[in-house]
Amino acid sequence: MAMTMKKRLTRRRFLQTATKTSGACAGFSLASQMAPLLAAPSNEAVLEHPLASKQPHFKPKAKRVIMVFLTGGCSHIDSFDPKPEVNRRAGEASKNGKKKIIGSLWKHAPRGKSGIETTELFSHLNAHVDDMCFIRSMHGDHGDHFAATLHMHTGSNGSALPGIGAWVSYGLGTNNINLPSSIVFAKKLPYAGAQVWDSNFLPAYHQGMRLNPGEQLIANLEPQASNPWPLQSRELALLDQVNQKHAALHPHQNELAARNLSFKTAKSLQREAPDLFDIKDESDAMLDLYGIERGERQSFGWQTLMARRLVENGVRFVELFDTGASDNWDLHSRNERNGKLAEYVDRPIAGLLADLKQRGMLEDTLVIGCTEFGRTPYGGTGRGHQRQVFTCWLAGGGVKGGHVHGASDELGATIAEDPVHVHDFHATVLSLLGLDHERLTFRKGGRDFRLTGLAGDVVTEVIA
């Protein structure tokens, strides 16, 4: 009889019984969200914790990344690459006569000791130009939002591939195995949705974990009242034993080991997340630096402060999307709306740079500011899409502060000097992290895939 019962206590049977009898484990629901992040492919051996920190290819300048993505195509002409000629020739017809040159609504001036000229659109961020490196000769392959956003994140030419956060996680792992290695703040989905932080064919635990700013940042985080932490902990320990025995019977199915890891990570999040996302101990001065009102949990300032706290606690890659696939920087009309969009992110990003610097973290934290493409000097009351040239910036993490690389022409319409393709940009980011973009590969279908495709050169001129 005992033998019969032993045979019947399969993993499937146990889970079915447990969920019916005790609501077993509030952590199950959270774990179900984590499972897609932690399911390894069958051809990868799980010999140690799969997110354990890895050695880079060479000595890195940066140890972690915070990436800010301005959705919709932020105008370089109206922000970090001002063009006096645009205002002087405002109203002049384009070559085809269909559109006219639009002057910028924001005055420009030299900033900081470096004297880099920017407009007044990002007034708070302007105070940090001496810590920033502006690449004014960016260009990509796509002029539509969906493909360009994918391109900027995955290097792909329209198809879904692993995002840059997943690649960084794959290359370096994390400094805190109790937290996901890649985390994304996105209250609204950007163009291309979750594909931009997906792991795709990389092991799924490298996928970015999306957090939704608001009252319930992580769904099902708290244990149920009927299943308090001491009881849930014992249930999870028993579940772990059953899972391990089941996995031992199927040693070549590494999805099982990764699935088991999902419960452990969920359990760790339940312990660590409440304190991590509770800012009651942050001073009023710190909240003011980011423009946060005490008690609120969804402003861009709050998200940016959380990004600092996450990387401070070992998360390797954090990305913040300012908005989603609508009501964004895609201003084909009413160019003045740039002001409101900039106001939402300006003070928080400036606060982040100041905060990291005063903590001594900016020197090994790479902060990225980018968008999917730029805007044309021509239009009606707004500007069109422009992939031929736009501006991205880097700060900290071993880049030259107070530096400008590349240049656009007098109207900001084409590249005049030192073009930097998206692949070059990605190669440079990886290099700052100690990763050789040509060696960071994953074999699938007989081909070695990489973030930079078959191209990309490190822009050594921006590295200190």
CA distances (Å), origin 180, targets 26, 204, 262, 433 = 19, 11, 10, 18
181's CB contacts (< 8 A; 6+ apart) are 51, 168, 169, 172, 173, 174, 205, 206, 315, 316, 317
SS3 state at 119: strand
Q: Among candidates 216, 215, 257, 218, which has minimal Cα distance to 240?
A: 257
**C-beta of residue 354 within 8 angstroms of C-beta of residue 131:** no
Distance, CA of 2 to CA of 278 (rounded, Å): 49
What pLDDT is recorded for position 19?
46
SS3 state at 367: strand
H or E segment at 239? helix 229-248
Stated pTM of the model = 0.86
Enumerate the domain spans of the chain.
Answer: 1-37+229-283, 49-214+297-462
Neighbour-count burial of 375, counting CB atoms closer than 10 A to its CB (0-12 exposed, 13-18 middle, 19+ buried)? buried
Position 12 confidence tier, pLDDT thresholds 50, 70, 90: low
CB neighbour burial string for 203-213, b if at least 16 within 10 angstroms, e if fewer = bbbbbbbbbeb
Q: Residue 68, CB half-sphere, CA atoms under 13 Å: how many?
A: 28
Tens digits of residue pLDDT in 196-226 = 999 999 988 899 999 989 867 776 667 677 7
Distance, CA of 348 to CA of 308 (rounded, Å): 11
**C-beta of residue 64 within 8 angstroms of C-beta of residue 317:** yes
**What whole-number percentage of the chain has pLDDT above 90?**
70
Q: Provide the mean pLDDT of the chain.
A: 88
Tens digits of residue pLDDT in 53-77 = 999 999 999 999 999 999 999 999 9
Position 236 confidence tier, pLDDT thresholds 50, 70, 90: confident
Tokens found for residue 31: 């774990």
Tokens found for residue 419: 């073009």
Tokens found for residue 79: 């922000």
401 phi, psi to nearest 5 deg? -80, 150
Question: Under CATH, which number does the domain 49-214+297-462 receive?
Answer: 3.40.720.10
- Segment 223-230 shows an average pLDDT of 72
CA dihedral over 441, 405, 128, 294, signed as positive or negative: negative
What pLDDT is recorded for position 29?
47
